[in-house]
């Protein structure tokens, strides 16, 4: 429900008040001109956060948008989200304007744990919107002493500026044909690396069309569907997935 009249939004907040929380902004950091990391604080001691779960943020009277925490600590009542400030919608404008001390309403995390526990090798494909979820996956993979690699398809400005994501991922430019350079990068992977990762687990997130194109390339390389997880975060011309 990305958009709803104000009175319905107000009613739902009242009716589902146990799934909703007021939080405040503890700190913000522009890690590039278009990517902003924000730490929030609230009170939600009973939330059992699972990797890949999304929160929903009320970005104005009528609009709600999904975002995925990169870190979550129910005991401390803090979480971090990394946002792409793409500038095309109310969510992006709202996040761009958030400052330390601001208060907002969020819907508490919902969804499945997307982490494939038994896989030794994890492969991430996405864009700026996925830095947050990939950071939480990376921490889990490292904690389990497993391995990850992957590709981020990014705007040129992000490639130039984003040295500080904390993710060891190949960065390639976005393309009109979606995922074109990412697929080149996949095809150029060292044979020894591919021998390890081809039996791993693949997380494809971000732009819907890029996911579709990259998934096709993986299938052509022999990856089975049940080793590929897909989650579109946005689609060109479409409001709030
Ligand atoms: C489960 C889930 C988790 C998500 N987690 C995150 C997250 O952690 N961090 C994050 O940054 N985003 C995340 N997103 C994506 C975010 O919700 C969308 O980008 C959303 O559309 C932003 O809302 P908006 O109001 O800015 O734009 P909208 O009003 O929804 O869209 C307006 C226009 O902007 C375009 N647009 C939307 N997103 C982008 C983009 N990234 N780049 C260029 N154009 C775009 C749309 O195609 C549309 O034409 C997530 C989405 C889902 C479904």
Residues 6+ positions from 20 with CB-CB distance below 8 Å? 13, 105, 106, 107, 108
Alpha helices in 106-190 (DSSP H): 131-143, 156-161, 180-187
Q: How far is the CA of 30 from the centre of ligand 1 (A)?
A: 18
Tell me how far CA of residue 141 lies from CA of 3, 18, 49, 122, 193, in angstroms.
35, 32, 16, 8, 17
Check residue 222 and report its DSSP letter: T
- What would the mean pLDDT of 126-136 be, rounded to a whole number? 97
CATH number belonging to the domain at 121-234, selected among 3.10.450.50, 3.40.50.2000, 3.60.15.10, 3.40.50.80: 3.40.50.80
CATH superfamily to which 6-110 belongs: Translation factors (2.40.30.10)
**Which of the four pLDDT bands, split at 50, 70 and 90, describes residue 166?**
confident
pLDDT of the residue at 159: 86
Q: How far is the CA of 152 from the centre of ligand 1 (A)?
A: 16
The residue whose two tokens read 């939004």 is 9
pLDDT of the residue at 161: 84
Domain ranges of the chain: 6-110, 121-234
Q: Which of 49, 50, 85, 129 to mutate to test the pocket of ligand 1 (most atoms within 8 A of CB)?
A: 129
- What would the mean pLDDT of 21-36 be, rounded to a whole number? 95
| Predicted confidence (pLDDT) at residue 110 exceeds the cutoff of 70 | yes
DSSP tally for the chain: helices H, then strands E: 7, 12
CB neighbourhood size of 160 (10 A): 12
pLDDT of the residue at 158: 86
pLDDT of the residue at 13: 63
């Amino acid at each position: 429900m990305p958009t709803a009249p104000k009175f319905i939004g107000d009613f739902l907040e009242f009716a589902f008040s146990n799934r909703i929380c007021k939080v405040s902004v503890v700190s913000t950091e522009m890690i590039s001109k278009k990517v902003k990391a924000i730490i929030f604080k609230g009170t939600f001691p009973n939330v059992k956060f699972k990797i890949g779960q999304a929160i929903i943020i009320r970005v104005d009277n009528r609009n709600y948008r999904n975002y995925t925490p990169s870190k979550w600590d129910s005991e401390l009542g803090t979480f971090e989200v990394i946002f792409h400030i793409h500038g095309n919608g109310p969510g992006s404008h709202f996040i761009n304007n958030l400052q330390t001390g601001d208060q907002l309403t969020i819907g508490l995390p919902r969804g499945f744990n997307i982490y494939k526990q038994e896989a030794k090798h994890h492969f991430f494909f996405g864009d700026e919107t996925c830095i947050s979820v990939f950071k939480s996956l990376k921490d889990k993979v490292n904690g389990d002493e497993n391995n990850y690699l992957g590709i981020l398809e990014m705007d040129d400005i992000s490639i130039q500026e984003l040295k500080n994501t904390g993710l060891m991922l190949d960065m390639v430019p976005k393309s009109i044909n979606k995922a074109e350079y990412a697929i080149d990068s996949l095809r150029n992977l060292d044979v020894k690396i591919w021998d390890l990762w081809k039996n791993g687990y693949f997380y494809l997130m971000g732009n819907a069309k890029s996911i579709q194109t990259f998934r096709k390339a993986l299938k052509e390389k022999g990856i089975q569907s049940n080793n590929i997880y897909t989650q579109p975060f946005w689609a060109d011309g479409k409001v709030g997935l």
